Amino acid sequence: MKGIRILALVLAAMMVIGLAPAALADDEPVKISVASYMFGPVDNEKDVITPLVEQMLLEKHGINVDIEVVYIEQANYADILNTRLNGGTAPDVFLAQSATMLNTYYDQGVIKTWSKEFFQENAPAVYEFITGGAAYGDLAGDVDAWWKAAMKGDEMIVLPSFKPDGSMPYKTLIYRGDWLDKLGVTEDQLPKTVDEFVALMGRFATEDPDNNGKDDTYGCSITAMKALFGAYGLGIGFSGSTSYWVNRDGVLVNSDVTPEAKEVIGILAKMYADKLIDPEFVAGKESVEGSYWAISHGMVTGLYGVSANASIDHYRLKEVLGDDGGRCAQEYWAVNGEGSTFVYGPWPAGPNGDYGWMVGTPVAVSESAVYNAAMSDEKLALIFKILDAFATDEELYMTAFAGIEGVHYEKNENGTIKRLMGNEDLNAVGVWGCRSLYGADRAFSKLGYDLAFYNDVTIANRLNWFKKDQYNSYIQDAVTVTLPSNDLFAELNTIRDEAWVAMIRGEKPLDEWDAYVQTWLDAGGQTLTDEANAWYAGN
């Protein structure tokens, strides 16, 4: 017994000596100022979390730091930070906020750069987590994209966030269940190609799916029309918004002026002529001014059978997601009756097998930490050690992320947490203050991801649903920054919308496509294309 005690003492002593590097633990604490994403300042009188985090870092990891949480109002973050960067009073760790800001900081030399090896050496657990494709290897296919976003040339400049929900499509094809039943179309038989889609639209328009004996139905309106562009690999913002850029053999082209877009307009023109499309698709009943934007009134009220105006969260189905409801689903049930059904549809694929809707990427820098160029390499190494400590020490992470159990949060049965205070109050006691020290928005660890994505079955179900073939999507914007002449898009989008509407309605022949492209290029499209390619070349 005594022997065991002595052994334990020796082991404990060895751990203290081995784990706590003397240079870090004995000296004065290293001051680290960090400006995280916060809703309000840390109230020094109430702050219990920051001292606790410092204590844990010291006692468990031998890292002796004095963390100063700096509050910078989110609404004016860039302005305030720029002044402080210029005045030399910016915090050690701050947020990049957007890819554009990140590039600006990098170009101005105000953020620190470091090598991949340096990162691996000082934050080995995080390095492994990233290269392993995040939790459960879910993002294994996006690891290269993460490194691409993290680096400039041979150097790393940022730790991008890595979110499994980042590439979920913003919109989902929602079909009217009663119409499909009437036509005898089961979920498995929903259109998976453009031809099948057009055929079903034809049946919606001609086979009286609403059973009222009148010829008063159409296939779809503008939002579902836009899904056809995805079948040609394009992300189109037709009707107001800006389209994505596509990479054609190393040259960036805007989707609006691609030959594929012309092909889709041809298909849509034929559908219009055959009366498959709501004739008022331009100012029609997809979104009605004054009511909730995602509600497709035409689809809900039975004018057409499918729309892509809402996300899956607006139409939640219990059998798919684990819970039901959503703002649009409520409206749908209110109009069509309690038992009325709707069905999620796959994206129709085009001749090359492409399909989908515009999506983001799992890799984002908008909430990512960057490091002040004024700091020493030693300090950055220390910050990476802290990053690693958060990724490996669950107690430490839970304290910084959620606070003290029973006081600031409770554990739910499903493994998620319920916060017991409002965000501003949580910030006041120090919760989230260290956010930028443990990762972009959550720790780079299984626990961080479990809490955010996998423990909540409804979120996990959603992620799984979007892994299904043709329900997923991969149409991403080839340009990830805001181009200098971005404002030109306002006019270009008008030019595009007018030309396309005229061609679909048959008011202008499709042969005028080249003239439209020329007008588009002359009105600023060429400038933007040059800027996009210049940006691409410099990356």
Partner 1 sequence: MVKTRFSLGKAIIYVLLTMLSATIVIAFWHLLNLSFSPSHIATKGGLLLYPKEATLDNYTRVIGNRYIWLGYKNTLIRTVVGTVLQLFFTAMGAYVLSKRFFPHRTFWTLFIVFTMFFSGGLIPTYLVVKKLGLLDTYASMILPGFISAYNLVIMRNYFQSLPEEIEESCLIDGAGRFRIFLQIILPLSKPILATVALWLVVGHWNSWFDVLIYIADDTKFTLQIVLRRIIITGSKEILDTSAAASAAEMESVVSSEGLKAACIYVTTLPILCAYPFVQKFFVKGIMIGSLKG
Return residues touching partner 1 (CB under 8 A). 37, 39-45, 70-71, 73-76, 79-80, 82-84, 86-89, 163, 165, 366-367, 412, 416-419, 421-424, 426, 441-442, 451-453, 455-456, 458-459
Residue 118: its H or E element:
helix 116-122
Name which of 129 and 520 has its Cβ closer to partner 1.
129
Query: Minimum distance from CB of 57 to partner 1 (Å)?
Result: 23
Amino acid at 123: A
Query: Minimum distance from CB of 416 to partner 1 (Å)?
Result: 4
Residue 227: burial class (beta carbons within 10 Å; 0-12, 13-18, 19+): buried
Name which of 67 and 70 has its Cβ closer to partner 1.
70
Query: Minimum distance from CB of 451 to partner 1 (Å)?
Result: 7
SS3 per residue for 207-246:
CCCCCCCCCCCEEECHHHHHHHHHCCCCCCCCCCCCCCEE
Query: Minimum distance from CB of 458 to partner 1 (Å)?
Result: 7
Return the residue matching tokens 């020094």: 44
CA–CA gap between residue 201 and residue 191 (Å, rounded): 10
Query: Minimum distance from CB of 230 to partner 1 (Å)?
Result: 24
Residue 296: which of 331, 270, 264 has the closest Cα?
331
Query: Minimum distance from CB of 238 to partner 1 (Å)?
Result: 25
Name which of 67 and 501 has its Cβ closer to partner 1.
67
Tokens of 532: 């996009």
Residue 29: which of 63, 76, 4, 65 has the closest Cα?
65
Beta bridge partners of 22: none
Beta bridge partners of 170: none
Q: 222-230 vs 259-273: helix axis angle to the nearest 10?
A: 140
Name which of 165 and 522 has its Cβ closer to partner 1.
165
Query: Minimum distance from CB of 311 to partner 1 (Å)?
Result: 11
Name which of 453 and 513 has its Cβ closer to partner 1.
453
Return the residue matching tokens 């679909």: 504
CA–CA gap between residue 391 and residue 402 (Å, rounded): 15
Name which of 438 and 500 has its Cβ closer to partner 1.
438
Amino acid at 439: G
Residue 281: which of 205, 217, 222 has the closest Cα?
222
The answer to whether the beta carbons of residues 276 and 228 sit under 8 Å apart is no
Query: Minimum distance from CB of 441 to partner 1 (Å)?
Result: 6
Query: Minimum distance from CB of 334 to partner 1 (Å)?
Result: 17
CA–CA gap between residue 450 and residue 164 (Å, rounded): 11
Name which of 44 and 241 has its Cβ closer to partner 1.
44
Query: Minimum distance from CB of 524 to partner 1 (Å)?
Result: 29
Query: Minimum distance from CB of 34 to partner 1 (Å)?
Result: 13
Name which of 83 and 526 has its Cβ closer to partner 1.
83
Name which of 55 and 423 has its Cβ closer to partner 1.
423
516 Cβ neighbours under 8 A, 6+ residues apart: 495, 496, 499, 503
Query: Minimum distance from CB of 496 to partner 1 (Å)?
Result: 28
CA–CA gap between residue 149 and residue 161 (Å, rounded): 10
Name which of 285 and 442 has its Cβ closer to partner 1.
442
The answer to whether the beta carbons of residues 9 and 17 sit under 8 Å apart is no
Name which of 20 and 365 has its Cβ closer to partner 1.
365
The answer to whether the beta carbons of residues 227 and 310 sit under 8 Å apart is no
Name which of 30 and 457 has its Cβ closer to partner 1.
457
Query: Minimum distance from CB of 69 to partner 1 (Å)?
Result: 10
Query: Minimum distance from CB of 318 to partner 1 (Å)?
Result: 15
CA–CA gap between residue 66 and residue 434 (Å, rounded): 12
129 Cβ neighbours under 8 A, 6+ residues apart: 135, 391, 444, 445, 446
CA–CA gap between residue 383 and residue 122 (Å, rounded): 9
Long-range contacts of 114-121, Cβ-Cβ distance < 8 Å, separation of 24 or more = 114/155, 114/156, 114/377, 114/380, 115/154, 115/155, 115/156, 116/147, 116/151, 116/154, 116/156, 118/377, 118/380, 118/381, 118/384, 119/156, 119/384, 121/381
Name which of 309 and 427 has its Cβ closer to partner 1.
427
Residues counted in the chain:
539
Q: Are strands 173-176 and 342-345 parallel, antiparallel or unpaired?
A: antiparallel
Name which of 369 and 528 has its Cβ closer to partner 1.
369
